Structure 1
Amino acid sequence: MGILEKIADIEREIARTQKNKATEHHLGMLKAKLAKFRAELLDPKTSGGPKGEGFDVMKSGDARVVMIGFPSVGKSTLLNTITKTQSEAGAYEFTTLTCIPGKIEYHGAEIQLLDLPGIIEGAAQGKGRGRQVVAVARTADLILMMLDATKSHQQRQQLEAELEAVGLRLNVPKPNIYFKVKKGGGVSFNKTCPLTYLNERLVTQILHSYRIHNAEILVREDCTVDQFIDVVLGNRKYLRCLYCYNKADEVSIEEVDRLAREPNTVVVSCSLKLNLDYLVDQLWKYLDLLRIYTKKRGEFPDLDEAMIMRNGSSIEHVCHSIHRSLVENFKYALVWGTSTKHDPQRVGLSHVVENEDVVQIVTK
């Protein structure tokens, strides 16, 4: 029996098993097997043979946004409209056959936008170009899920299920579980709160199914079996996702209003260029980038040239962005802005900067 058949068998058994206290342990073991087979399917340990054509697009700019959606939902049209790139667009499916990069310039930042081929149902099993699309998606800073406002809500659920199956977790935090494999001592299981789904016996058996017999686990929140398996596998990617419903001009105003009120959602019309400025604003917001200005001693800061940094960046990150050698010769930094108690404040490398701070680096 092949891996696909094994996956299908397990999925059928999970579907027909009643979910109650008595079956929790059995379902947990089934989910562990399912995750194991899916990981093997996506990353087969086979050597030799020609490799399939990939989508090797060099990461450029300050952030990468990947568009994912079913065929013919308007990904190429959006790329052509908000960037200067020309991607072939047509009113038929599978117009795009490879990865087309574009660039959005916003607030002094360069955001790379990738137009990927449409996902088909079964992409998680490698159908269509599912594996290549997923491989690029894992390199993204943000997923832009393109959806058709004229079609049912099921398209969103199908796409989420495909991405879930390949280890992409959308708009959810990483589970608060400490997990470390050891060389001996067996399985050490501790918790800091009451647990609904996990217990020491189930955790130990899940680890044994992955041939892990010595490990230290500390569960700090009430996690599900799926979340624990994600931590054990360690290859899950937690990404923010913005849902974009296109073709707003083809549905009623009541439907537009309903869609726009869903969380993490923007409604646009690429053909009529409606609401695209708001979409770009939301991309910036979801990427959570900062604009940091630098100044030299005795001079005003250059407010036309901002450094684009990730939220949570420290003075050390700022130094690395300017020049690698700055950290070695660093003495202190003067910072003006919302991250300080007074202006200017003398800070060290660990000081975390905030949006539109002004930084002056003083070296030895």
Structure 2
Amino acid sequence: MPANLTPQYLEADRKFKAATTLQDKLAALEEMLATIPKHKGTDRMQGDLKRRIAKLRDQMQRQKKSGGRGRPFFHVEREGAGQVVLVGPPNAGKSALLRALTNAQPEIAAYPFTTRAPLPGMMAYENVQVQLVDLPPITPDATEGWLYGIIRTADAAALVVDLATDDVLSQTERVQALLDQAKLALVGTPTAPHHKRALAVANKLDAPGAPERLALMRDFLRETLPLYAVSATHGTGLEALRRAFFELLGVVRVYSKPPGRKVDTSTPFILKRGSTVMQAAQAIHKDFVAKLKFARLWGKDEYQGQMVGRDHVLEDGDVIELHA
């Protein structure tokens, strides 16, 4: 199968070849991985890119430990069901949101640029954990290239905006313009390689004048991003946001039931939405790939232990019983 590389990938490849620093090389490789078409014809290329990225990160970490000078570099290992990065202008309340939803304890202050490095925290949603990462604010003068790299490699993003300021619209436009310069766009439904699946969070709903500013933001974002209004301080809207973050990841929870035994719903397998019985079997145990004879399915609708084929697409909450 031909690779059919996109113009965005070729441009990222050009940036890599022209890069003179490790940080710029890493940013270009991450952009190449994000924009390469995802099909069997590029599997080997994707694997090679991942190896090159890992090698470069290791090199940068060794350089950092040996006291080498240069710009700071950060990488956040993905944990849980998926990774959602919190993106926005200074003082939008990203750190307060992280503290309200997770076990993290970020520094919170009334002045901007409190967050200078990515800070992860684990958000509980029903029986899974979702990783949220608070990023430094996006500004014209203080945003390092590694920050855009973290956004590219995350599973999804949340654009956090500040309902306490009359500048909320212009702040949002500035952030979007800077992302555009970095060949990134936050959208609810990605249709291009440089698109990152995202939603918007209108924070500080408790602030004076917030309802009027919220109406303005809904009108501004209605064709690009779903918008959730919250107050991280008072807890308003946070439960709906937890569910939205999980759904944003594009994953489903599937449970394995051994024949003749009860299902354990405490530890689901996390699969991409659209995964089949065979893909679930591979995740549960590699031996099932060659030895699977049939599967039974219990679901929310019509399936109550019926046999299903290997290509049956699984839904969130499905229980499968594999027979080898």
Above 0.5 in TM-score?
yes
Q: Superposition RMSD on alpha carbons, in Å?
A: 2.8
Aligned counterparts of 2:255 and 2:143: Cα–Cα separation in 1: 42
Distance 1:75 1:254, change over 3 A: closer
Aligned counterparts of 1:277 and 1:89: Cα–Cα separation in 2: 22
Deviation (angstroms), 1:273 = 2.5
Aligned counterparts of 1:255 and 1:39: Cα–Cα separation in 2: 45
Q: Give yes or no for the alignment of 1:345 onto 2:306.
A: yes
Who is 2:206 aligned against?
A: 249
- The aligned runs of 1:90-105 (5 Å cut-off) are 90-105=109-124
Who is 2:159 aligned against?
A: 145
Output the amino acid matched with 1:63.
Answer: G
Aligned counterparts of 1:249 and 1:43: Cα–Cα separation in 2: 49
Residues 49-74 of structure 1: CA deviation (Å, up to 9, x unaligned): 96532112211111100001111111
- On the 8 A contact 1:248/1:256 being kept in 2, the answer is no
Who is 1:188 aligned against?
A: none
Output the amino acid matched with 2:227.
Answer: T
Indicate the percent of aligned positions where both proteins have the same amino acid.
30
Deviation (angstroms), 1:253 = 5.9
Distance 1:141 1:295, change over 3 A: same
- On the 8 A contact 2:168/2:213 being kept in 1, the answer is no
Who is 1:46 aligned against?
A: 20
| Length-normalised TM-score, structure 2 | 0.72
Secondary structure of the structure 2 residue equivalent to 1:243:
strand
Who is 1:279 aligned against?
A: 241
Output the amino acid matched with 2:243.
Answer: D
Who is 2:318 aligned against?
A: 357
Aligned counterparts of 1:309 and 1:166: Cα–Cα separation in 2: 30
Residues 128-187 of structure 1: CA deviation (Å, up to 9, x unaligned): 233111000011111111111122312222212222222223324335xxxxxxxxxxxx
- The aligned runs of 1:188-267 (5 Å cut-off) are 236-252=193-209, 254-255=211-212, 258=215, 261-262=218-219, 263=222, 264-267=226-229
Deviation (angstroms), 1:359 = 0.2
Aligned counterparts of 1:47 and 1:105: Cα–Cα separation in 2: 38
Who is 1:173 aligned against?
A: 190
Aligned counterparts of 1:242 and 1:298: Cα–Cα separation in 2: 42
Who is 2:32 aligned against?
A: none
Deviation (angstroms), 1:259 = 5.0
Larger radius of gyration: 1
Secondary structure of the structure 1 residue equivalent to 2:173:
helix
Deviation (angstroms), 1:114 = 0.4
- On the 8 A contact 1:259/1:267 being kept in 2, the answer is no
- On the 8 A contact 1:259/1:265 being kept in 2, the answer is no
Distance 1:354 1:167, change over 3 A: same
Which 4+ runs in 1 deviate beyond 4 A? 38-44, 47-51, 259-262
Unaligned runs of 5+ in 1: 1-31, 122-126, 176-235
Deviation (angstroms), 1:84 = 0.9
Secondary structure of the structure 2 residue equivalent to 1:269:
coil
Aligned counterparts of 2:186 and 2:214: Cα–Cα separation in 1: 23
Q: Give yes or no for the alignment of 1:336 onto 2:298.
A: yes
